Structure formats: structure tokens, C-alpha cells
Amino acid sequence: MLLFRIRHYLIILITTLVLPGCNVWNNFTTYFNLYYNTSDIFVEAENQIKEQKKDLFSTEELTLPGTVNTQLVKVIEKCSEILQFNSESAYVDEALLMLGKAFYYQKNHQKALRKFEELIATQKESDLLLETKLWIGKTQIQLKDYESALKILGEVREQAVEEGKEDILKDAYVEEIVYRISKEDYQLAVSLSNQFLEVTNDEDIKAEVLFEIGKLYNKINEPENAVTAFEKVLDYNPLYKIELGAKLELGKTLRSVGKLEEALEVFNDMKEEAKFIDAYNEIDLQVGITLKELGRLEEAVEKLTFVDTSYVNTPSSGIAKYKLGEIYEYDYKNFDSAGSYYQKSLTSSLPKDYTIDAGQKIRTFKKYQHLTSQINNYSSQLFYVENPEEYTKDSITFVQDSIVYVQDSLAVLEELTLYSEHLKSLAGLDLDTVTIKDTVAIDSLKKDSTMAGLNSAKLDSIKRKEREIAIKNEIAKQGINIDSLFAEKWDAERKFPAKPIKSALSEDSLKSLLVKNEIELGNLFLTEMERFDSAYYYYDYVLTYYPNTAHQANALYALGSYYLNTDQKEKADSIFNIIYENYRNESIVNAAANRLNKPLIDLEFDPAKDIYAAAESELLSKDYESSLYKFYSIYEEYPKSSVAPKALYTSGWILENDLKLYDSAAVIYDTLAIRYPQSEYTIKIRPKLNAYKQYQTEVKKAIEDSLKRIEQEKMLLLAEDSLEVSSDSTLTQIEPNPDEISKPDIIDERINKIETPDIILPTDTTRTVILNNPRRNPRKK
């Protein structure tokens, strides 16, 4: 580049000296004043943009780095100056091309196209015409003028071959191939790539194109052709990046077609080449994955664990975690460990290709862990409900184990404390006074006059720091780590004993919850984890051991789904028929109907509505007793029906207004208010029902008051008679007066009068208002 610039300067200088003239001088000043700096800025900006493109046929849209846009703005300003003030110079065509490219990179494609077309129209002798046509084609693709773009790119390729313009030829092919890939026309992209191979002589380009062809063959599921393409790459002594990519893709493609040993050999050979040291993380990862596919699980786990721990914070580490999750899920069937690895993979540097699957796996295994926890919990509680003596025994054991746990943990803590204090004493510390032996720091502190004013808090802080340093030094000297010592003394797996829980729920409720969770776990195995045997186990277990729960129909449907997924359609249809015939009130029945292509069941069907219509017809015919019987039977037989409150209300209405049985009507209304408190009919009758109840309370109170008064009068009368008898007994016995012979009769008469009083009841007006004044039947005209 430097040699080119020097030569360029010399040519301009010589031209200026030999051929003096206005145009030459204009070119000279334009070059040094504007073009040179502008060109430098543009080349730097364009290089930064191109560096973003990792693959030759990448369809990812390039974004402008932070500083590039500022540089492009400067290029646009400088090129505009050249066109405005130096329009006669020899750099107009280059200024127009740079200006168009700058607009293109800024995604201002209309302006870019105008500048390219202006160059074609005004600079007909320029040697930049072919490159400009290439950029017109690129811009038309961005403007979605595909027909024009493909036509001009074809013309550019033909002319580039004729003129031997290798770079322009490459760019023209790449532009159309990328367009074809973006439209997922992979076959045509492969065809164009093969055409490109035939017309180019550059071996580096051939190697790169073959590498891309191999990847395209994999996209269209032609792995054998992909293997051939990747192998051909190595015939051209490719650049390091292409060779590395081709060998990795070759190994992965061989693995995908079942040639596992060959794939492993490719990766092992790469590991032996020192030049691939920067890619050892990817190579080791592929070795681990290949060992997994070979069924050499222990070696695979070892290798993938090595990748995970040795290449931390790399995409390879994230993928290794994900693959370990697969091994624990599908091979070891250890779902807790699988879920843990999937979780770790998502929080690491996992490539985008894996993140969606990893997220789904995490949700699945969290659901699995929740369901298994619920099942274990409800199973334990159900066991204690069915076996209360076991709950008592386990509670006693829990208390005993808890005491032992606390005692053991305190013993270990005491031992560690004693050891720690021993180390501190060795460090020359007085634990009671927290003082330190004379040290350089303390001596200097005492001597330094600038620190004489330190308060005691600062002095204590320095003492503590010195103390910590002394302790750490002594611990290091002893060569013992407190954490490792604790690990030796205490089993990390040991947990505080689990307390037995006695549920407040009934046995039936616990069974229902247990069955619900077991069915959901079976569904998880069937639909998300694709472990059909496990799904069958839970469905069969529920139907065998809990056959009469509210979830029976759902369990049957789940079992039918299992048979469908395992290609046992006859068994599946048989079960769906059982649901269709026997569970017509369950919402799941229509799912079974869909499987059988049978008519859907009207789940809103209510037999009580037909009875209500018949009862209403009889009421209009004034057959009160028959209609009353039907209305009330709806409440008794279909209490959950939507018409039950209305039927009960109508029963009371008939008793009140047609049959004049007010007390019976009040009983019906009271039942309505109790059973359906939120019903609109309850709201209607509540005021008069409350008034009726108040009236009944007043009547009862009046009767009670009257009876109480009778009792009081009886007691007074008996008391008076007793006093008279007592008085007479003190007198001298005399002959009775004939007039007094009849006194008992008088007493009896008074008592009879008390026992049959005229009870004063509340006015009967209230009762008449409430129930003796029937509302007019709205059906009667």
C-alpha cells in the first residue's frame, strides 16, 4: 500500500512537471487536498464492515460499527466537495463510486442507486463501470427489484470472465448465491456455486466455495455430497480458517450418516495437529458428542465434563452442558441431573441454535420436579391417613433423629471452634483482649506523629487487620484448610430429618389430588418427554388403584392417547368409545368424539329444563298440585341445575298465591334463601320472608309472655291460700261457717280463669300483608 502511494505521488509529480496545465494541476490539488484523505477514511470504514462477515455465503445483514457511520458521513461530505468544486478532475468517477457505496452501507439505497447510475451516465470512459454495474445489482436486490438485479448480475459475471476481473466475478456470484439462499432455493444456490468453480482459477476461492457448497448440501439433506465437497476442500491447500471449518464439518457430517468411527478419527487427528490449538475446545466437544453417539457413555461424560470445566465461558462449554443433559435424560434416565445440566447450559455461553430447546427442556424438567414433589407429598400424607399408627411412629423417630442431628452438628462446630482458637493462639493473639504482639505496623503507628491523633476505633481496625493476616499466615503454615476440615468431619449429603406431615384433608381429597398429579405426570412423559413406557405406567396405575375418582374419564383418555402414539389404534378407539358412551357429562367426551369422528355431545343439556317446561304448562292449566310436584322435584333431583332456584321460587309462589298455604310457602322460600343465597329469586322474596319471620317471632314471644303471666298468677294465688290456711291454724278450733263450705269451688274458679286467659297476640295485619294478599299471576290476563 505504501509503495503504491509513493508511486502514485511520483506519477502525479512527474505529470505536473512534464505536462503543465490547468487540468493536471487540478488533479494534483484534488488528490492531495481531498481524494487522498477521503479514500483512506473510506477504505478503513469498508474494511471494518467486511470484517463482520464470517462466512462467504452468510445471509445475515451487516450492521455498522459505532465509528463507521461517522467515517461514512465524512466520506459523503468530502466526495460531495470533490463533485461540487473539482468536477473537472480525474477523481469524479471514484468520488461517485465511493459516495454510492457510502449511501449503500448507510442503507440509503435510493440515493446509492442514483449515484451509481450518475457514474454510468456521465463517466462513460471510466474503468470503474463494471464495478459500478455490480453495485447497481447489489442495490437493486436491497430495493427488492430482483428481476433487474439478477439480469445485471448475470451481465457483470459474463463481462468479468472476459476481462479477467476475478474479484468482481466472485462478488457477482456471491451476491446472487446469497439471494438464492435467502429465498431457500438451495438447489439453485448449489448450481451457481458449481458454475463459479468452473470459471475461477483462484485456488483459495475454490476452497472457500467448496466449503460453502458442503454446507449447502447438508441443508438439502445430501450428506454424501457434503462429505465429498468437504474432502475436496483439503485438495487446495486452503487457508487456516477454511481448513479448520472443513475438517470440523467433515467429521460432523460423517457422524450424521452413521460413520462414527471415521468421524472420531477425523477429530482425533485434528487434536494431534498443534496448529488447531485455538480450536481444541470445539474439537474436544465433537469428540465427546461422537463418543456419546457410539454408546461409550462413560468416556463421553468424562470428555464433555472436561470441555465444560476446561473451556469455561465458551460456546463449547455451553453445548457440553446441554449434551450432558441429554445423556442423563435419555441414557441414564436421571431427570433431576438432566434438568440441572439444561439449566446450567442456558445460563452459559450457549449458541442461539440451542437456546430455544434448552429453555423448553428447563420448563419440562421444572414441571417434572414439581409434579414428582407433589406426588411424593400426597402419597406420604395419604399413607399416614390410612395408617395413623405409622404417623405416630415416624413422629417419634423424627424427634429422636432431630436430637441426634443437632448434637452431632454442635460437636463438629465445637471441634472446629477449638481448632480455630488454637490457630489464633499460635498466631500470637490474646483472644480475650484482642491484642497483638508488637509488630512493625504497631511500632510505626506509635512513632508516626501524623497518626498520633487516631481515635481508638481506627486503632482497633488496624489491630483486626493485623490479626487476620497473622491467622492466615499460621493457617497457611499449618497447611490445613478449615473448609476441607469441615468436609472431613461432616457428611455434605446429611440433611436435617424431614418432619412427617399429617394432612388436614380427607382421604378422598388426597386421592383425588394424587390422581390428578399422576395423570399430569403421565401426560408430561407422553407429550413432552416422549417416554411412552413411563406414561403408560402412570395411566395404568391410576386406573388400577384409584378407579372411582372424578378423574377417571381423563385417565382413560390419556391411556387412549398413549395407544394412538404407539400405533395401537384399535385399543385407542375402544377406550374412546368407553368414554363416549359412559361419560357424556364430562368435558373430555367431545375430545373422544373427535377421535372417533362421532357427533359432539351437548354438554349444556339439562333434563331439568324439560321438566320445568311441563310443570309450567300444567300451571297455566291451573293444575296446581301436579305443577307444584314437578317444580319441587326439580330442586330435589337436579339441585345443581340452572333452573333449580327458579323452580323452587315457583313452588313457593303456587303455595302462596294459588293454594293459600302461607306457612308452607314460607318454608319453601326459606329453603330457597338458604340453598341459593345469591339467586335473583332469593333477592325477590327476601324482604317479605324477613317480615314473615319477624311476625312469627312476635307471635311466639306473645305466647311465651302470656304463659309466663299465667304461671306467675298461679303462684300468687297458691301463696295467698297458703297464708290463709296458716292463719286459720293458729285459732281455736271452731265450728265451720256454712257460708265458707263452698270456698274451694271459688278457688277452682279463679284458677280456671287464670289457665284459660285471653292471649293478646300482635295484630294479624302483618301476616295478612305478607301472605294473605296474593300477587296477581303474571300469566293470567
Q: What is the pLDDT of residues 107-134, one digit of tens each?
A: 999 999 999 999 999 999 999 999 999 9
Q: What is the mean pLDDT of residues 383-397?
A: 92
Return phi, psi of residue 430, to 5°.
Answer: -100, 110
Range of the domain at 629: 607-721+743-755
Per cent of the chain over pLDDT 70 is: 79
Per-residue pLDDT tens digits for 199-231: 888 899 999 999 999 999 999 999 999 999 999
Per-residue pLDDT at 747: 43
Q: What is the mean pLDDT of residues 404-410?
A: 84
Position 728 confidence tier, pLDDT thresholds 50, 70, 90? low
Three-class SS of 533-576: HHHHHHHHHHHHHCCCCCCHHHHHHHHHHHHHHCCCHHHHHHHH
Three-class SS of 40-98: HHHHHHHHHHHCCCCCCCCCCCCCCCHHHHHHHHHHHHHHHHHHHHCCCCCCHHHHHHH
Residue 697, domain member (yes or no): yes
Residue 35 clears pLDDT 70, i.e. is over it: yes
Per-residue pLDDT at 210: 96
Query: Could you tell me the CATH number of the domain that includes residue 650?
Result: 1.25.40.10
Residue 766, domain member (yes or no): no
At residue 497's C-alpha, the angle toward residues 491 and 499, to 5°, is: 165
Residue 175, domain member (yes or no): no
Per-residue pLDDT at 753: 44
- Rounded Cα distance between 97 and 485, Å, is 74
- Rounded Cα distance between 760 and 208, Å, is 116
Residue 19: DSSP 8-state: S
Q: What is the mean pLDDT of residues 652-672?
A: 91
Residue 178, domain member (yes or no): no
Return phi, psi of residue 582, to 5°.
Answer: -115, -10
- Rounded Cα distance between 330 and 342, Å, is 13
Residue 733 clears pLDDT 50, i.e. is over it: no
- Residue 514 CB contacts under 8 Å (≥ 6 apart), including other chains: 375, 378, 379, 382, 546
- Residue 302 CB contacts under 8 Å (≥ 6 apart), including other chains: none
Distance, CA of 265 to chain centre = 41
Per-residue pLDDT tens digits for 134-172: 999 999 999 999 999 999 999 999 999 999 999 999 999
Q: What is the mean pLDDT of residues 457-469?
A: 67
Mean residue pLDDT across the chain: 83
Strand partners, 430: 435
- Rounded Cα distance between 331 and 301, Å, is 11
Residue 454 clears pLDDT 70, i.e. is over it: no
Residue 449 clears pLDDT 90, i.e. is over it: no
Q: Which residue has the higher pLDDT, 499 or 156?
A: 156
Q: What is the dihedral of CA 436, 440, 442, 443, to 10 degrees?
A: 120
Per-residue pLDDT at 442: 47
Query: What is the widest separation between alpha-carbon atoms in the chain?
Result: 186
Per-residue pLDDT tens digits for 502-557: 888 999 999 999 999 999 999 999 999 999 999 999 999 999 999 989 999 999 99
Q: Given its phi and psi angles, is residue 144 left (phi above 0), alpha (psi -120 to 50 degrees) or beta?
A: left
State the DSSP H helix or E strand holding residue 662, giving kind and residue range, or none if neither. helix 662-675
- Of 259-268, 437-446, 678-687, least confident by mean pLDDT is 437-446
Q: Which residue has the higher pLDDT, 159 or 3?
A: 159
Q: What is the mean pLDDT of residues 478-501?
A: 72
Per-residue pLDDT at 71: 92
The pTM of this model reads 0.64
Per-residue pLDDT at 28: 44
Residue 685, domain member (yes or no): yes
Distance, CA of 757 to chain centre = 81
Residue 327, domain member (yes or no): no
Q: Given its phi and psi angles, is residue 269 left (phi above 0), alpha (psi -120 to 50 degrees) or beta?
A: alpha
Per-residue pLDDT tens digits for 176-204: 999 999 999 999 999 999 999 998 888 99
Instruction: Give the number of domains in the chain.
Output: 1
Residue 581 clears pLDDT 80, i.e. is over it: yes
Per-residue pLDDT at 382: 94
- Rounded Cα distance between 14 and 29, Å, is 14
Residue 127: DSSP 8-state: T
Residue 619, domain member (yes or no): yes
Q: Which of 567, 575, 570, 581 is nearest to 540 (CA)?
A: 575
Position 443 confidence tier, pLDDT thresholds 50, 70, 90? low
Three cell numbers written together for 256: 450424521
Position 90 confidence tier, pLDDT thresholds 50, 70, 90? confident
Residue 674, domain member (yes or no): yes
Three cell numbers written together for 396: 417419634
Per-residue pLDDT at 721: 64
Q: What is the mean pLDDT of residues 377-398?
A: 93
Strand partners, 436: 429
- Rounded Cα distance between 708 and 740, Å, is 31
Residue 337 clears pLDDT 90, i.e. is over it: yes
Q: Where are the alpha helices (DSSP H) in 490-531?
A: 507-527
